[in-house]
Structure 1
Amino acid sequence: MPDIVAAIDETAANVIVPRTISALPATSRSGMASLGPVSLSWSATGVLSGGIVDLIPPPVDVIRVGSLRVDYTLNLTLSLDLSFLNFCLPQVCVTIPFIGRVCTPRICITFPKISVPVSHSSSITAAMDLRLATTLNAGVWEVNAVIVGVPTLVLGPAATALLAAVGAAVTTALLVVPFIGPLLALASSIIFGTITLANILGLLGPIVTAFVAGLRVPIYQQPQMFEVLPPAPLDPAVLVRLDSVIAALDGSAGEDELVISVDISP
C-alpha cells in the first residue's frame, strides 16, 4: 500500500484543471503548409481557457477537456505564382513597297511570384485529450497532464472569417501588380477557385492540433525531500523523502477519480 494517497473527483477536477489551463502562458508555433495549390508559411500565438473535464479511466485513460476555448492570432504568408497570367502581344507583319516585309517586335509580359501577408485573430472551441505523466526533475516530483490529442474542433465561423481575410489580402496585393488591372477579375476568379472553405478547414485543423500538442498542464509539484516540520530554535527541520509518485485515473470505487499515490521514507 502507498504511504499517502490523495484523490480528486470530477467535481474538483472541473475546478482545478480549467483554472490551471487558463493560467498557462501564451504559446507560439510556426510551420509550413499549403492552401490548395498555394504554399504558405505560418506562425500562431494563442491561449487556452475554460473547459469541462471528464475523467476517463483505463483502457481509454485520458482526461478529456471539452468546450475548451482557444483564442489565437495567425500570421500567414502566401506565395502566389502569377505566371498563369503571362501573355504575349501578337506580332503583326506587313509588306511595304520597296522595303519588303516588316514585322512589329514580339512583346511578352510576365508576372512575378508575390508574397501576400495575412493576419487573422479569432477563437475556436475544441475538445482535447490529456494523459498523466510523472517525472522527477532536478529533485522535484512533477505530475503533468499532457495534451495528446484533439478529438473535436469547431472551426466553422473562424474558417469563414479566415477565408474572407485571405480574399481581401490577395485582392489588395493584386491591385499593385503592374498591368494586372484588366486581368484582376480573371486572376481573382482563378486563385479563389482553388481556395475553398474545405481548404481553410484543412489548414486550421492541423495548425491548431500542432499548436496545442504536447502542452503540459501542471497537476502536482513537490520537492523529493519534503519538509514535514520547519526548523525550530533547537531542532533541525524534519524531512521525509518521496521515493515514488504515481498518478493515475481510477474508476474502481464507482466514481471516476484522479489518484496520486506517494511512497515515503525517513
Structure 2
Amino acid sequence: MRRKTPYPYWFVAPAAIIFTVLFTIPTVTSLYFALTRWDLFSQTFIGFDNFVQFFREPGLTRGLINTVIFAGLTSGLKTVLGLLLAVLLTAGIFAQGFLRAVVFFPVLVSTIGVGLTFTELMHPTDGAINMGLSFFGIDGPGWLTNPDLALISVALVDVWRGVGLATLIYIAGLASISPEYYEAARMDGATRLQQYWRVTVPLVRPATTTVILLSLIGGMRLFDLIWAMTRGGPGFSSDVLASVIYKQYQAGFYGLSTAGNVILFILIGVLVMPLVYWLNRREVDL
C-alpha cells in the first residue's frame, strides 16, 4: 500500500491560511468583543448586555426589520425581472446583443456613483423624475424625503443596478435547456405560456436558486447605496443593519456595533441555510 504523503495539502495551505486570517480569526474575535464594552485601549466583559440593548432600542430594531424587508423586496424583484428579461433577450429579437449590454451595464457602474446620480434624479423639486411627472400633471412624491417611500425608493434603485447580473445568470441557465423539451411540449399542444410555466421555470431552477441567494445575501449586507442616497433617513426610516452598525461605530459604541455585526451574521445564516436546503430539494434534474 502507498504511504500517505502530505504533498497535496501544500496546495490547500495558502487558501486555508488566508481564510483563517481574514475570516475565521476576525469572526471569533468579533463574537468575543460583542460581549464587551471596549475601545482602542480597554475592554470590559458585560455578557449579553449589548444584545439586550440592541433589541431595546427602537431605532436599532427598525434597522433589523428594514433589512429583512429590503432584502426580500430586492431579491424577489431581481428574480422575477431577471427571468423575464432573460427570456426576452434569448428570443432572437432585434439588436439582442446591444440590449444585453444595456441591461448589464448598471452592474459595472460604481455603487456610490449610482446612489449619487439617483439622489439627484429623485430630488422632490429639481429631480428629473418629478419634473417628468409634472409634465403630465402629476405631482411627484418625495422619493427620498418621505419616510414611507425612502426604503422602497432605494430598493428600486438597487434592483435597477443589480438585475443585469440576475439576467446574465438566467441567460446561462436558459442556454443549458435542451430544445427537445420545447419540441415535446409543442407536440403535446402546449401554448407559449404553458411552455414557460411547465418547461422554462422548472428547468431553470438552479439559476433561480443562485439568483435568490446572491440577491438575498447582498440585500442584507448592503450599505454603500443606502448611505449614498439617504444615510438611513429620514429619521430611521431607511436604516438597515449595516448603516446602524456604522452609525454606532461613529458614535463610539464599539461593543454595541460589534453585537450588530454578530446579529447580521446570525440573521444571514438563519434565513439562507434553510432556504438553500428548500431550494435544492425542489431542483429539477435535466
| Fold-level similarity (TM above 0.5) | no
For this structure pair, what is the TM-score category when the shorter chain's length is used for normalisation?
A: under 0.3
The two structures have a TM-score, normalised by structure 1, of: 0.26
Structure 1 or 2: more helix by fraction: 2
Rg larger for:
1
Provide TM-score, normalisation by structure 2.
Answer: 0.24
